[in-house]
Chain A
Amino acid sequence: MKELLLSGDRRALAKAITLVESQKPEHQKDAQKLLSSIMPYTGKSFRLGVSGPPGVGKSTFIEGFGTYIIEEKNKKVAVLAVDPSSPISGGSLLADKTRMEKLSLSEKAFVRPSPSSGALGGVANKTRECMFLCEAAGFDFIIIETVGVGQSEYEVANMVDFFATLMLPNAGDEIQGIKKGLLELADAILVNKWDGELKQAAEIAAQHYKNALAILHKTTNWITPIHLCSSIEKQGFDAIYNSLTKYQELNKQNANFQKKRLQQNKLWFESLVHKAFLSFVNSKFKESWEKLSKEVEQQKKSPYEAMNELFQLMGLDNT
């Protein structure tokens, strides 16, 4: 599988992603082996994260911008999108490709939507690993779309080189409601739907974001740009792309680019340990875990008491 993957075989890449995403222990072992063997071939792409509230037009933006990257910048684009699974059935409805029709049919693109999780409780989010697979298969521009709610934004921001947040052209009151944290996370704000009736509203909104950002103090030397763009009319892509290259150059000069990636590796390790430990406890001490959970629920024990008891059961000293 490794050779086929490295040769850029589409089917091998697709199968490799399936393997990496699989929740079956045997598969996970194979996946780790595969990942370790391809790591030397990764790292050569630009990694872009795209987030934004529902309805902002993330998929349509990626359709337009991804096509632009292929046609104007002659790159091979891989898109990884995570869609929420139903908390009730565990199933999912993945419709991203209906909004990325041109891009997803391009010979120079690979678009793979993934369901966020299965019902077995494991977080199936293997986006970072899938990104490495795409790089090994020769894709040199990776776009990661996140659902734009909760924890996933932080996770994605921690695996990409550049994190862009799409915003709706709602000037005024909406601005108040934006999470401050999200603005801090963003390396660029893209005000979408800069077309038709909303054109002026988009321009006003962009000005509002500029004002809002001015109050924030960022720790880095990068001044978060605000870009207007229209996914439908394909406007604003040049300016966005220029920001990406400018960011890359600036950070390469002061070695921040590589530093950021190495730091992300550290975070990746931490998160792997975190997940592996939880799943280890969950499987090896399942009964105790469930019993203690119940006791906490029934107010027989406090969460602290239960945790300490669990650690004792595992033979670990938690003091």
Chain B
Amino acid sequence: MKESSPMQDWQKLSEKELHGKKLDTLNWSTPDGSLLKALYTSEDLKDLPHIHSLPGLDPFLRGPKATMYAGRPWTIRQYAGFSTAEESNAFYRRALAAGGQGISVAFDLATHRGYDSDHPRVKGDVGKAGVAIDSVEDMKILFSEIPLDKISVSMTMNGAVLPVLACFIVAAEEQGVSRSQLSGTIQNDILKEFMVRNTYIYPPAPSMKIVADIFAYTSEHMPKFNSISISGYHMQEAGADPILELAYTLSDGKEYIETALKSGLKIDDFAPRLSFFFGIGMNFYLEIAKLRAARVLWSKIVEKYSPQNIKSKMLRTHCQTSGWSLTEQDPYNNVIRTTLEAMSAVFGGTQSLHTNSFDEAVALPTEFSSRIARNTQIIIQEESSITKVIDPWGGSYFMESLTQNVIDKSWEIIEEIDQMGGMAKAIEQGYPKMKIEEAAAKKQALIDNGEEVILGVNKYQLTKEEEIEILEIDNPAVRENQILSLKKLKSNRNEKSAQNALEALTKYAETGVGNSLELSIQAARARCSLGEMTMALEKIWGRYKANTQVISGVYGRSMEKNEQWQNIYKDILEFEKQEGRRPRMLVAKMGQDGHDRGAKVIATAFADVGFDIDLAPLFSTPEDVAKHAIENDVHVIGVSTQAAGHKTLIPDLIAELKKLKANDIIIVAGGVIPKQDYDFLYKAGVKGIFGPGTPIPLAAADVLKAIKLARS
């Protein structure tokens, strides 16, 4: 009799445990569609090319540093900004005293889009989602008593990157710290703005020129400063699966290399200062594999440009836990989610990490929630022994095999983008944005169908939600103060030198001669405001308008068997019979908030169930939205809001409709709206509010009901 192998024994045993079900029923798949097994063995390690590589050595599979966290743990870097420079400064100083190790500045939306706080378009945006910075004076307050020669500063800024970086450099200079001593990162990743986040200002070509200028300036004068943080985070937040996120981010990186080389820089001048930024979601294993794969892929990509400095090939990254995975429902669960995600980032070998606060699904973090978020990292670093071993997953049958799968699949996508002529070309065609929106719609359908479990949202829901304390921002007060400071700034400066500096910027935009960062620094010194500097260039370049594309059918196809969905479909047919047309909704975003995933998912899903959906352009004012709504004669306006502007902008919209005698058009709102604001909005006249985690069929049914009620 032939003896059976241990593997055969295991298979037999397994099927017995499964009560006769086949072993392959245990197979599972990651969101990108890769099929995975339940057991990996030494067989799976065969032929893996990098299995014997070591940390700190090319291709850096096991980490960019030789000793990784055993030598020095990652930097705890919490992203924060609290409306005013004073409050933010106080927060940073407290955080540094309590174990934070670097600063990460969140700016408000007006600043992101290059508007001063006194601009009429940003009435609802000032001080929301971050700190308002109008000039070097604000920047000096922001870093008051923070030694910029010692503390590294990361700034999430892409659109208004020139004035913000210039003000930072001048603020340091006036603090007595030279530019060469500055360490930290500027996000400066404009490509992904065109793809997902939408906080761009200028059209793509001049925007890329600015990026190259910043590379040139920092490589010459700021050796410790990362000139860019090539970001996948926002793609994942917008719905991309981790592999799509990885591939597109690396393709962005490739495009930046090409841009810099074309501008005359040499690969080793700037490549060592390129840094990355990834999102870490709830796919525990896949996120670890993603970071390991990212390093191998980047090394392979840069290899092509024949760098002499090995650091040019080394991918260093910041990570942030996913904001998307946080729920409004049963919010303390978010602490646990964030912990798991933080562990993925750490096992993957990140260089710095932001852990989200549990209340970020609905509001800006409070002092308390920030502390818990920070402590999540400190506990991993100091209580768990996790840092003692370098790349603890190295050699794992499963992890090494998964990593290779991520490498292979990402490479295919990178090649696809290459064939389109690189990322800039692909973005022009709207291709990556469409792919990400498709992934987002698919994911939403999986959740609404209950195929993907989210505790408290589609499983084990609480019957009664406890209210949590949130941070309230007095937006009008912040705006008034900023306007006062701007007036002071302009009356105290030497007007002639300010105007000269602005003219120099305009001339640069015309001729392309000079370095835009250098010129912006001079303007910042001359006390030009952020809005003035932006306008000096905008005069020539114009402000970019995105080409909005829409997808259809993806969400609806996944919901075909959902009974609730079918019922709404029938209700809409009935409505059409009664009213002579379908229910028509204008989906609008107001203010400078460019996060349009929610709006796009709602638009495509509602159209898939039979609504007629109009889309308003991004960055609309309440007056704009009212005009669109009236001309298209919609039944309802669905306002999507992610950045806390709703308490100003929605009442303004209602007032505008009233003024135009169109108050039969009703308003519903969705997105990041804290429970505390519901009463305010209902009183203002809003007919439905849909917080994060609302299943779309429920929202669609409620909107239809609200329309019928308003018409009866």
B619, closest chain A residue (CB): A101
Q: How many angstroms from the CA of A267 to the CA of B656 in the assembled complex? A: 43
Residues of B within 8 A of A85 (CB): 612
Q: What per-residue 1/0 map shows which CB atoms of A248-292 lie under 8 Å from chain B?
A: 000000000000000000000000000000000000000000000
**What is the distance, in angstroms, from A284's C-beta to the closest C-beta of chain B?**
18
**What is the distance, in angstroms, from B378's C-beta to the closest C-beta of chain A?**
45
> Is A208 an interface residue, CB under 8 A from the partner?
no
Q: What per-residue 1/0 map shows which CB atoms of B53-71 lie under 8 Å from chain A?
A: 0000000000000000000
Instruction: Check if A104 sits within 8 Å of B610, measured CB to CB.
Output: no
Indicate the size class of the contact surface on chain A: 35 or more
Q: What per-residue 1/0 map shows which CB atoms of A89-113 lie under 8 Å from chain B?
A: 1111111011101001100001111
Residues of A within 8 A of B573 (CB): 90, 119
Which one of A14, A23, A98, A120 lies within 8 Å of B617 (CB-CB)?
A98
Residues of A within 8 A of B582 (CB): 90-91, 115, 118
**What is the distance, in angstroms, from B204's C-beta to the closest C-beta of chain A?**
11
Q: How many angstroms from the CA of A89 to the CA of B627 in the assembled complex? A: 28
Instruction: Check if B628 sits within 8 Å of A97, measured CB to CB.
Output: yes
> Is A18 an interface residue, CB under 8 A from the partner?
yes
Instruction: Check if A101 sits within 8 Å of B617, measured CB to CB.
Output: yes
> Is B661 an interface residue, CB under 8 A from the partner?
yes
A55, closest chain B residue (CB): B429
**What is the distance, in angstroms, from B663's C-beta to the closest C-beta of chain A?**
11
> Is B556 an interface residue, CB under 8 A from the partner?
yes
Q: What per-residue 1/0 map shows which CB atoms of A70-98 lie under 8 Å from chain B?
A: 00000000000000011011111111011
Known contacts being A86-B552, A112-B632, is A97 close to B661, with CB within 8 Å? no
Which one of B549, B576, B615 lies within 8 Å of A94 (CB-CB)?
B615
Which one of B546, B603, B616, B633 lies within 8 Å of A18 (CB-CB)?
B633
Residues of A within 8 A of B48 (CB): none
Instruction: Check if A98 sits within 8 Å of B579, measured CB to CB.
Output: no
Residue of B607, B611, B661 with highest tally of chain A CB at under 10 A: B607
Residues of A within 8 A of B553 (CB): 86, 88
Residues of B within 8 A of A27 (CB): 580
Q: How many angstroms from the CA of A159 to the CA of B661 in the assembled complex? A: 33
Instruction: Check if B633 sits within 8 Å of A97, measured CB to CB.
Output: no
Instruction: Check if A10 sits within 8 Å of B630, measured CB to CB.
Output: yes
Instruction: Check if A14 sits within 8 Å of B630, measured CB to CB.
Output: yes
Residues of A within 8 A of B608 (CB): 86, 88-89, 91
Instruction: Check if B556 sits within 8 Å of A10, measured CB to CB.
Output: no
Interface residues of A in 14-36 (CB under 8 A from B): 14-15, 17-18, 21-24, 27
Instruction: Check if A18 sits within 8 Å of B556, measured CB to CB.
Output: no
Instruction: Check if A94 sits within 8 Å of B569, measured CB to CB.
Output: no
> Is A11 an interface residue, CB under 8 A from the partner?
yes
Known contacts being A24-B579, A119-B573, is A89 close to B632, with CB within 8 Å? no
Q: How many angstroms from the CA of A157 to the CA of B268 in the assembled complex? A: 60
A101, closest chain B residue (CB): B617
Instruction: Check if A95 sits within 8 Å of B548, measured CB to CB.
Output: yes
Residues of B within 8 A of A60 (CB): 547
Q: How many angstroms from the CA of A270 to the CA of B158 in the assembled complex? A: 58
Residues of A within 8 A of B577 (CB): 24, 120
Instruction: Check if B607 sits within 8 Å of A91, measured CB to CB.
Output: yes
Q: How many angstroms from the CA of A171 to the CA of B256 in the assembled complex? A: 31
> Is B702 an interface residue, CB under 8 A from the partner?
no
Q: How many angstroms from the CA of A90 to the CA of B604 in the assembled complex? A: 13
Residues of B within 8 A of A89 (CB): 556, 569, 607-610
Q: How many angstroms from the CA of A93 to the CA of B602 in the assembled complex? A: 11
Which one of A11, A92, A93, A119 lies within 8 Å of B630 (CB-CB)?
A11
Q: How many angstroms from the CA of A22 to the CA of B575 in the assembled complex? A: 12
Known contacts being A91-B582, A104-B628, is A97 close to B615, with CB within 8 Å? yes
Which one of A14, A24, A93 lies within 8 Å of B607 (CB-CB)?
A93
Known contacts being A14-B633, A95-B615, A112-B631, is A119 close to B610, with CB within 8 Å? yes
A24, closest chain B residue (CB): B580
> Is B660 an interface residue, CB under 8 A from the partner?
yes
> Is B696 an interface residue, CB under 8 A from the partner?
no
Which one of B545, B579, B612, B632 lies within 8 Å of A91 (CB-CB)?
B612
Known contacts being A89-B607, A118-B576, A118-B581, is A111 close to B631, with CB within 8 Å? yes
Residues of B within 8 A of A98 (CB): 546-548, 615-618
A89, closest chain B residue (CB): B610
**What is the distance, in angstroms, from B364's C-beta to the closest C-beta of chain A?**
29
Which one of A11, A23, A110 lies within 8 Å of B661 (CB-CB)?
A11
Q: How many angstroms from the CA of A93 to the CA of B614 in the assembled complex? A: 6
Residues of A within 8 A of B420 (CB): none
Q: How many angstroms from the CA of A15 to the CA of B606 in the assembled complex? A: 23
Q: How many angstroms from the CA of A120 to the CA of B579 in the assembled complex? A: 12
**What is the distance, in angstroms, from A94's C-beta to the closest C-beta of chain B?**
5
> Is B173 an interface residue, CB under 8 A from the partner?
no
Residue of B553, B579, B616, B631 with highest tally of chain A CB at under 10 A: B631
A23, closest chain B residue (CB): B580
Residues of A within 8 A of B556 (CB): 88-89
Interface residues of B in 619-655 (CB under 8 A from A): 624, 627-628, 630-633
Residues of B within 8 A of A90 (CB): 572-573, 576, 582, 610
**What is the distance, in angstroms, from A147's C-beta to the closest C-beta of chain B?**
14
> Is B310 an interface residue, CB under 8 A from the partner?
no
B560, closest chain A residue (CB): A88
Q: How many angstroms from the CA of A99 to the CA of B628 in the assembled complex? A: 13
**What is the distance, in angstroms, from B424's C-beta to the closest C-beta of chain A?**
11
Q: How many angstroms from the CA of A89 to the CA of B604 in the assembled complex? A: 11
Instruction: Check if B632 sits within 8 Å of A14, measured CB to CB.
Output: yes
Instruction: Check if A15 sits within 8 Å of B633, measured CB to CB.
Output: yes
Instruction: Check if A91 sits within 8 Å of B631, measured CB to CB.
Output: no
A16, closest chain B residue (CB): B633
Instruction: Check if A113 sits within 8 Å of B611, measured CB to CB.
Output: no
Instruction: Check if A94 sits within 8 Å of B632, measured CB to CB.
Output: yes
Instruction: Check if B576 sits within 8 Å of A119, measured CB to CB.
Output: yes
Residue of A98, A118, A120 with highest tally of chain B CB at under 10 A: A98
Known contacts being A89-B556, A92-B612, A105-B627, is A99 close to B581, with CB within 8 Å? no
> Is B282 an interface residue, CB under 8 A from the partner?
no
Interface residues of A in 50-70 (CB under 8 A from B): 60
Q: How many angstroms from the CA of A97 to the CA of B548 in the assembled complex? A: 9
Instruction: Check if A91 sits within 8 Å of B581, measured CB to CB.
Output: no
Q: How many angstroms from the CA of A160 to the CA of B624 in the assembled complex? A: 30
> Is B550 an interface residue, CB under 8 A from the partner?
yes
Known contacts being A91-B607, A118-B581, A118-B582, is A99 close to B612, with CB within 8 Å? no
**What is the distance, in angstroms, from A142's C-beta to the closest C-beta of chain B?**
15
Instruction: Check if B624 sits within 8 Å of A99, measured CB to CB.
Output: no
**What is the distance, in angstroms, from B594's C-beta to the closest C-beta of chain A?**
13
Residue of B572, B576, B580, B660 with highest tally of chain A CB at under 10 A: B580
Q: How many angstroms from the CA of A119 to the CA of B581 in the assembled complex? A: 10
**What is the distance, in angstroms, from A211's C-beta to the closest C-beta of chain B?**
29
Residues in A lying within 8 Å of B, measured CB to CB: 10-11, 14-15, 17-18, 21-24, 27, 60, 85-86, 88-95, 97-99, 101, 104-105, 110-113, 115, 118-120
Q: 8 A-B pairs, CB-CB below 8 angstroms?
A: A21-B580, A23-B580, A93-B607, A95-B550, A95-B615, A97-B628, A101-B617, A119-B610
Further pairs besides A94-B614, A95-B548: 20, Cβ < 8 Å: A14-B633, A22-B580, A22-B581, A23-B581, A24-B577, A86-B553, A88-B553, A89-B607, A91-B572, A91-B582, A91-B608, A91-B609, A93-B604, A94-B632, A98-B615, A98-B616, A98-B618, A112-B631, A112-B632, A115-B612
**What are the 5 A-B residue pairs with the smallest beta carbon separation, nearest first?**
A22-B580, A24-B580, A98-B548, A14-B633, A91-B607
Residues in B lying within 8 Å of A, measured CB to CB: 545-550, 552-553, 556, 569, 572-573, 576-582, 603-604, 606-618, 624, 627-628, 630-633, 660-662
